[in-house]
């Protein structure tokens, strides 16, 4: 009834009807006279509008009060209710305060280091003329074998250690070579798809202060610089492989094959008396 009277009051104000101060007998009498003059549909429309506005203002005030009291809990409760409604036995939805699941942190296994990833006991270096060299780790050093992948035999094979340079950690570079070229000859020829005799070209003798390169008849010491106090010696050796094609007959001439060149880096831990090359496993003398 009060909402209807308020609607009538707004209608009278809109139509320009003069009303006396509220809460008096004359004011009520004027409202009743105006209501008699208004059509019923207009009264109903005004009442519906007034009720709708009142409900909207009431709901807004309720939400504002809840937000001011606990803004974080209110927003979280509202979002969780919309996202995960739970019905009880009576069919009424209840708010469930779900805990945020904790995702366990799983540490991925670290990739192996360079030394762990590159652990072959040998390496094969091919040439552009269908032969290759195989460098293998042996008990007391390194040995080299020539392999023939050609359709004809090869011979007059030579291994030349052209340079041996020590590494300077202060400058981050290798020094000049301390040896002249050392040559090793392979004694036999190698047939097609055959393997030559292995030759040891680097080793460490018991009681010697230095590594040795070359052969039994021709060897050179890898003397480490006196002023360099590094515990691990690092050497770079430059290798050259020369070979000739076997002539088809006694009157034929041997033709040289394409020369193979490669560098290897050798590490020697003096305190442990251990040798390694590149990422290969260490070899103990």
Q: Does residue 176 lie in a domain region? A: yes
Q: Does residue 264 lie in a domain region? A: yes
Q: Does residue 221 lie in a domain region? A: yes
Q: Does residue 131 lie in a domain region? A: yes
Share of the chain above pLDDT 70, in %: 57
CA distances 125 to 105, 113, 241, Å, are: 44, 23, 11
Q: Does residue 57 lie in a domain region? A: yes
- Among residues 69, 89, 109, the one where a domain terminates is 89
Q: Does residue 106 lie in a domain region? A: no
> What is the total count of domains within the chain?
2
Co-location of 46 and 166 in the same domain: no
Domain span at 71: 2-89
Co-location of 28 and 149 in the same domain: no
Digit-coded pLDDT (tens) for 60-119:
766 665 555 555 454 554 455 444 444 444 444 444 455 555 555 444 444 433 333 344
The two three-digit tokens of residue 221, written as one number = 């010491």
pTM of structure: 0.55
The span from the CA of 173 to the CA of 171, in Å, is 5
Co-location of 129 and 261 in the same domain: yes
Co-location of 85 and 125 in the same domain: no
Q: Give pLDDT, residue 185.
A: 92
Co-location of 85 and 161 in the same domain: no
Digit-coded pLDDT (tens) for 8-47:
555 555 555 555 555 455 555 655 565 556 666 766 776 6
Digit-coded pLDDT (tens) for 230-265:
999 999 999 999 999 998 887 788 899 999 999 999
Q: Does residue 105 lie in a domain region? A: no
Co-location of 268 and 183 in the same domain: yes
Co-location of 142 and 31 in the same domain: no
Co-location of 79 and 121 in the same domain: no
Q: Does residue 168 lie in a domain region? A: yes
Co-location of 195 and 255 in the same domain: yes
Co-location of 164 and 276 in the same domain: yes
pLDDT surpassing 80 at residue 153: yes
pLDDT surpassing 50 at residue 3: no
Co-location of 122 and 233 in the same domain: yes
Co-location of 176 and 242 in the same domain: yes
């Amino acid at each position: 009834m009060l909402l209807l009277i308020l609607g009538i009051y707004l209608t009278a104000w809109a139509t320009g009807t003069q009303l006396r101060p509220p809460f008096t007998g004359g004011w009520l009498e004027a409202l009743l006279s105006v209501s008699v003059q208004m059509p019923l549909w207009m009264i109903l429309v005004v009442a519906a509008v007034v009720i709708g506005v009142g409900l909207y203002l009431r709901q807004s005030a309720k939400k504002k009060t809840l937000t001011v009291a606990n803004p974080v809990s209110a927003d979280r409760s509202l979002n969780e209710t919309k996202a995960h409604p739970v019905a009880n036995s009576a069919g009424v939805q209840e708010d469930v305060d779900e805990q945020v699941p904790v995702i366990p942190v799983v540490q991925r296994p670290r990739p192996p280091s360079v030394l762990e990833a590159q652990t072959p006991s040998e390496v094969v270096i091919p040439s552009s003329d269908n032969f290759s060299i195989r460098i293998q780790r042996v008990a007391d050093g390194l040995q080299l074998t020539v392999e023939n992948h050609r359709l004809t035999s090869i011979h007059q094979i030579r291994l030349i250690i052209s340079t041996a340079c020590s590494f300077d950690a202060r400058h981050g570079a290798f020094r000049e070579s301390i040896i002249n070229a050392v040559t090793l000859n392979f004694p036999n020829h190698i047939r097609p798809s055959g393997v030559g005799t292995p030759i040891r070209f680097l080793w460490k003798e018991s009681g010697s202060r230095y590594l040795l390169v070359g052969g039994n008849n021709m060897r050179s010491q890898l003397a480490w610089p006196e002023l360099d106090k590094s515990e691990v010696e690092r050497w770079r050796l430059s290798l050259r492989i020369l070979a000739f094609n076997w002539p088809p007959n006694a009157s034929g001439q041997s033709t040289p094959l394409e020369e193979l060149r490669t560098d290897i880096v050798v590490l020697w831990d003096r305190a442990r008396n251990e040798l390694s090359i590149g990422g290969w496993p260490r070899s103990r003398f």
